[in-house]
Chains A and B, each alone.
Chain A
Amino acid sequence: MGGGTGKNLNLKLHVWRQKGPNVEGQFVTYDAPGISTEMSFLEMLDVVNERLAEKGEEGIAFDHDCREGICGTCGIVIDGRPHGPRPRTTTCQLHMRSFADGDELVLEPWRAKGFPIVKDLMVDRGSLDRIIATGGFITAPTGTIPDANAIPVPKENADIAMDAAACIGCGACVAACPNASAMLFTAAKITHLAMFPQGQPERSSRALRMVAQMDAEGFGSCTNHGECESACPKGIRVEFIARMNADFVVAQVTKGRREAQAGDSSAG
């Protein structure tokens, strides 16, 4: 193991520190000298935290887990960009070679009513889980299922579904949106499931419920800036929001008729 092959940077970090959910926070400045350009951003924070610990100071709390860009746990607004300056890159996959010697970086948590701060740079994204819990699924209880190849799915549909399903639920779309809207997240799941024949029976109720929950969580609405798409590390596209809007409108329009007919048939 060598000492690293890259160059070294001396950085200054302005980091949001907040003890807990209901206390005031503030920016604290830290010097971060001797940072190798080969480090990932989180490895840089590890180094800063190890140095703080040696001085007996508590490290900066930040969420992270897989460190390979797929679990969606990490997320820091770096210099005004969720996940930092590199397109389609999560914070953990951002490497320090994206920065220059002498840079001053501002590190902030995702900021949204739907994402209360837990500590420092950690936020609570349980709201996204609750959106999924209201309808982001296909009801297919274990076991009661036909052969996988019994229902062919056009490749184009499967590809769009996969594009949408690539969402890692990190919340960067919300963080980037000037309205803190979670529509890209919600639309990605609605689009994914709407692309399959298996997803059709619940398509309308899914759109209605997920949108209702999204609103109830206190997220803003889409004003079509497109910031979410540019911040998304997985390239989820705003066209999915258009698909969601269309599904929602259709669902609203047909809701009354469905309910009335279901009422008639159950009464009869």
Chain B
Amino acid sequence: MSTVALAGPGTFLGSSIGKKVVMAVTGLMLFGFVLGHMAGNLQVYLPHPEEAMRSYALFLHGFLHGAGIWVARLGLLAAAALHIWAATSLTIQNKEARPVGYRQWVGWESTYASRTMRWSGVILLSFIIFHLLHLTTGQVHPQFEDMNPYRNLVTGFQQLPVSIFYILSMVLLGMHLAHGVWSMLQTLGLSHPRYKKLAQKAAVAFASLVVLGNISFPIAVLAGILK
């Protein structure tokens, strides 16, 4: 037997790859959520958006006799917490891995998105908190109406600074996903040399889809299309 023990740093959650896998799996869950969230919200473009959105909300709240939404919320909360924990832990490890930096460093392959994951992540966290207080619980919303998501959305986005904050946050989300989705494939070992470029493009495409869908809401409100 080797003198190196398999315990300690070799355990799944103690290892760098284990944490990366946690990042990837939780990232996938969160990505699935934003995709679904965006798709659900596209109902604002239906002929009777206010009714459609209300019944959608009622459906979500009533799913599994009301338990469904809490299962989803707790799941997402856990995913987010683990995602943040793994990111923090890996970031600390990565910072410690190069105690003295370079005077000059030139990247060839890394992208603005890949280099700013930590910052986009932190800003997105603050956005999520704001978003929950804004359109879920309503504390920071000027005219929050219970169980009327469409109205809340329209009145919320009619405030220009709020819309701008949403739009910028969505751009960051797009960048985060563009690198994150491809990273997730790589971390889970699903990378394939022949499809690497395709997978990277697909990641950008999905990210763009989420961003464009989400950005369309404040823009449509500000443009007076949704009222």
Contacts and interface: CB of A to CB of B under 8 A. Distances in A.
A–B contact (CB under 8 angstroms): yes
A35 interface: no
B110 A227 contact: yes
Interface residues of A, number: 56
B2 A80 contact: no
Given A108-B102, A113-B96, A224 B186 contact: yes
A225 B114 contact: yes
B107 A225 contact: yes
Interface in B60-102: 90, 93-94, 96-102
- Chain B, interface residues (CB within 8 Å), range: 35 or more
A13 interface: no
Contacts of B104: 77, 79-80, 106, 108
B182 to A, nearest CB: 7
Contacts of A81: 106, 108
Contacts of A209: 2, 4, 6, 10
A252 B21 CA distance: 12
Which interface residue of B6, B17, B111, B193 has the most chain A CB atoms within 10 A?
Answer: B17
Which interface residue of A114, A183, A245, A252 has the most chain B CB atoms within 10 A?
Answer: A245
B107 A111 contact: no
Contacts of B190: 242, 246
A230 interface: yes
Please provide the 9 A-B residue pairs with the shortest distance between their CB atoms, ordered closest to farther: A246-B189, A220-B97, A212-B10, A242-B191, A226-B109, A225-B110, A80-B106, A179-B94, A221-B16
27 contacts: A79-B106, A111-B100, A111-B102, A178-B94, A178-B110, A180-B98, A181-B97, A209-B2, A209-B4, A211-B16, A212-B10, A214-B16, A215-B14, A216-B4, A218-B96, A220-B90, A221-B20, A221-B90, A221-B93, A227-B107, A239-B196, A242-B187, A242-B189, A245-B17, A245-B20, A245-B188, A248-B17
